[in-house]
Amino acid sequence: MTPAHSQPPPHPAPAAKRIAQPTVRRLSLYLRFLEDVDDRGLTTVSSQELARLGGTSSAQVRKDLSVFGSFGKRGLGYAVAELITALRDILGLGREWRVVIVGAGKIGTALAQYAGFRQRGFSVVAVYDNDVAKIGTQWAGHTVRDVAQLESDAAREHPDIAVLAVPAERAQDTVDRIVRARIGGILNFAPVQLHVPAGVTLQTVNMAAELEILSYALANRDPEEHRELMPEVGGQRSDAAANRGGRRPG
């Protein structure tokens, strides 16, 4: 375990730009796990526990955290509250991020109603669409605005992030509008490759790819491990599990 750390780095964002996206993803996982153990009243956690929960190694945990400073005490683990504070600073969660949603359809509706956004400091401030039947209507607590207003609204309201939830055929034109509005971060749910200029961060949520990864994992799982994890049906184990336990079901 690494030596004790007193305070998180005052400006972690520049360091974050130098690390790979998988590392940032792991930091986000560590934060969620830490918040969970904090809710359960635990005050310390080991790198082995973080590694197990994050599906990585304790060495990787220590390497990920060492980019930003020295954390934890050898033999004692990491102080949960301290590491939560540091990771929230590293991930930029110490401030409110103003979010606009472009596309008042099913995906946009689900996102606007997701309570986790506000809990993480992401505040939905406006919703846009190009459908005249939706413009002016109330939608998830917001009045749907005409997407043609985006540039003028953004100049006045300064949103930080745009969530793009439009059909693929409209996505690039809409992204170009978002770029003209000088919004620096885009979370894209459209199933298409998009292009943005340098200085704009684009993150695409590819649900089909995530399902394909899950499909691969299921198709290539260890049959023995799968049988061990089979749930009991009707209060009894599967035949294979019961046989290993010295009895048959029924």
Q: What is the CATH number of the domain that holds 47?
A: 1.10.10.10
Domain count along the chain: 2
75 plus 143 within the same structural domain? no
Average the pLDDT over 228-236 and give the result. Answer: 53
The pLDDT, as a whole number, for residue 245 is 46
Identify whether residues 79 and 116 lie together within a single domain. Answer: no
Q: For position 221, what pLDDT does the model report?
A: 75
28 and 105 both lie in a single domain: no
pLDDT > 50? residue 1: no
pLDDT in tens, 42-55: 889 888 888 887 77
Does 224 map to a domain? no
**195 shares a domain with 128:** yes
The answer to whether residue 222 sits within a structural domain is no
On average, the pLDDT of the chain sits at 81
pLDDT tens profile 91-144: 888 889 999 999 998 888 888 888 778 778 899 999 999 999 999 998 878 899
DSSP string, 8-77: --S--HHHHTTS-HHHHHHHHHHHHHHHHHHHTT--EE-HHHHHHHHTS-HHHHHHHHHTS---SBTTTB
Q: Are residues 47 and 127 in the same domain?
A: no
Same domain, 114 and 170: yes
33 shares its domain with 61: yes
